[in-house]
Structure 1
Amino acid sequence: MDGLSGSRYGLSSSTLKLFACITMLIDHTGASVVLQLLNQPAIRANAARYNQILPVYTVMRQIGRLAFPIFCFLIVEGYYHTHDVRKYMGRLFVFALISEIPFDLALKPGWFYPLKQNVYFTLLIGLWTIWTMDQFRFRRMLRLVIALCGMTFARGLMTDYSFRGVFLIVVLYLFHEERLVQCFAGAAAIAWETYAPPSFILCYLYNGKRGLRLKYFFYLFYPVHLMILGLIRWLCIANIT
């Protein structure tokens, strides 16, 4: 593999995760709290105030586009480095369940919103898909069917990023052995999100090292920050109404 794998230089897994978490926090703050402000009648009636806040919201959402491709890249790397892929999938499933109410509180109309599921489900389906494909690595048509099943399941479950997220994980898995090609392919697969492809510059700099041992911090960060943002959002709604 090319890139900086095995080098003491470059970015570790924990550094990439920290960057993704920060950009995700910025994105979700915009999508929950700032958007809630923009939707208030008093703000919408004040054109000057609205036009001050709108660019902030837009930039926050654009910054947030960098997070998801990095998480997908690390799911693929995690697949190749984990000692037990079933336990890995089990952890993703547990945190997908834990995250669903915080996800709905922060980003949807209420605490229960069955029409959209959080991104942990997308990552889980993507991981299951590449693991299953790997069991049939010499049967191309069957691997294609498995990939299509994974994408169809994500779309049917209405997960965040839907089938496109699973497609990105599959692409990164298929080109895993050539980092530069993998990054270009990943950037092409996520190009429908205009501000997402630059995240693969950071992925190319991945050095294959774990970095800080903060595994459960990263698992917990998603539901905890969403719960905090959700509470702030609903406190704002309560105070306004």
Structure 2
Amino acid sequence: MPICPIRRKNNIPKERVRMTVNKEMALQSGTNRWEILDATTLKLVAVALMFLNHIHQMFVHVGAPVWLTMLGRPVFPIFLFVSAESFYHTHNKKKYLQRLLLASWGMTLFTVALQGVLPNADVVLMNNAFGTFFIAVFYMMLWDILVDGIHKKKPARIAKAVLCGFLPVLGTIPLFFVAGLSANQNIPFPVIKALITAAMLVPNILTIEGGVAMAALGVGFYIFRKHRIVQIILLLILSAVVYLTGDHIQWMMCFAAVPLALYNGERGKGMKNFFYLFYPLHIGVLYIVSTLCFG
């Protein structure tokens, strides 16, 4: 709706008229002046902090300071928040989910191969945020199916959402199967290692980085995506629970509330391929440097 022009009387300063118009425009647009970060900028902030965090991971054995990983605690919530936004706005939700699954498989195979070629007793690569994003987005999709089934009163869709929700739980079965086989000394270790790798390729709730709580936080971000305050409250609650469990570093993910509060709802430049490539590449480079120079 166009803004009606404001007639200025002779005794009203021009600046006051201009401020009144700007205020009405801000109210009609629904944005606040402090909401200055788009989705791309949020991801760039997370990338910078993630890089510092992984420097600590790769070089902690040679004295990398703990404040590097402290700065990296907000990274996961920021990426989960952006994943929820991206999934909501994507034109092809199934393709988005498939892309995350392929990235998760690629990351698992990449880290296994890298550690096989360059073993490093001081660094264990268990990095696969793509797996966490996949599980979170998978449940976001099931949430949409569930809500659609309830609204349209379709029991079949409701049942589909509920039953499919058990798939990441059933995905843990291969892990337990391989764990049982590992006790058999007649099976060569290379075979066990290959079976473990294959089992890790099956999406499940046990092997995702950050654990089930992080995936649940991502789903919460999606469910309450129109209620920023609720999203931030969920983050603060999880941070408080983590702190009460005795983890005195991970709770610092609560500081992700600051960039989330500054989000303006815009996509930005995107740079999708950059983020998919930067994650494995920077981990690989840091691991290689750590192994060759300090291993």
Q: Into which bin does the TM-score normalised by the smaller protein fall? A: 0.7 to 0.9
String of CA shifts for 1:109-168, please: whole Å, max 9, x gaps: 948x999461110101110111012101138x9667766765785765412112112111
Q: Residue in 2 aligned with 1:12?
A: 38
8 A Cα contact 1:30 1:61, kept in partner: yes
Q: Which residue in 2 is equivalent to 1:203?
A: 260
TM-score (norm: length of structure 2): 0.63
**Distance across 2 between alignment mates of 1:70 and 1:27:** 14
Code of the aligned partner of 2:271:
L
1:123 and 2:113 correspond? no
Distance apart, 1:235 and its partner CA? 0.5
Unaligned runs of 5+ in 1: 38-52
Distance 1:225 1:5 in 2: 38
**The one of 211, 214, 222 aligned to 2:271:** 214
Q: Which deviates more, 11-20 or 204-213?
A: 204-213
Q: How does 1:102-141 map to 2 (within 5 A)?
A: 102-103=110-111, 105=114, 110=119, 116=126, 118-137=128-147, 138=150
In structure 1, the partner of 2:10 is none
How many Å separate the matches in 2 of 1:78 and 1:149? 23
- Are 2:111 and 2:125, in contact at CA under 8 Å, matched by a contact in 1? no
1:234 and 2:291 matched: yes
The corresponding residue for 1:167 is: 216
2:66 corresponds in structure 1 to 58
**Alignment-mate amino acid for residue 76 of structure 2:** F
In the other structure, the counterpart of 1:77 is: 85
1:151–1:162 contact (8 Å) kept in structure 2: no
Residue correspondences, number: 214
Higher relative contact order (CA 8 A, sep 6+): 1
Q: 1:93 to 1:207 in 2, by over 3 A?
A: same
Distance in 2 of aligned mates of 1:31 and 1:128: 29
Per-residue deviation, 1:181: 1.4
The letter for the 2-side match of 1:183 is: I
- Residue of structure 2 aligned with 1:178, choices 212, 221, 227: 227
Using the TM superposition, give the Cα deviation of residue 17 of structure 1 relative to its aligned residue in structure 2, in angstroms.
Answer: 0.3
Alpha-carbon contact 2:129-2:209 (below 8 Å) kept: yes
TM-score (norm 1): 0.76
1:99 match: 107
Mind listing any 5+ residue stretches in structure 2 that lack a counterpart? 1-26, 172-202, 243-249
One-letter code aligned to 1:123:
F
Q: 1:76–1:173: 8 Å Cα contact kept in structure 2?
A: yes
The two structures, once aligned, show a CA RMSD in angstroms of: 3.2
Aligned residue for 1:90?
98
Task: Give the Cα–Cα distance (whole angstroms) in 2 for the partners of residues 19 and 181 of structure 1.
Answer: 22
State the structure with more CA Rg: 2
* Structure 1 residues 62 and 144: CA distance shift in structure 2, 3 A: farther
The runs of at least 4 aligned residues of structure 1 exceeding 3 Å deviation read: 4-9, 101-106, 113-117, 141-157
Q: Where does residue 247 of structure 2 map in the other structure?
A: none
What secondary structure sits across from 1:196 in the alignment? helix
**Deviation at residue 62 of structure 1 after TM alignment:** 0.5
CA contact (8 A) 1:14 1:214 kept: yes
Counterpart of 2:53 in structure 1 is 27
Q: Distance in 1 between matches of 2:67 and 2:125?
A: 26
Q: Secondary structure at the match of 1:135?
A: helix
Q: Is the 8 A contact 1:73 1:172 kept in 2?
A: yes
1:45 corresponds to? none
Say whether the 8 Å CA contact 1:99–1:222 is kept in structure 2: no
Report the Cα distance in structure 2 between the residues aligned to 1:84 and 1:77, rounded to whole angstroms: 13
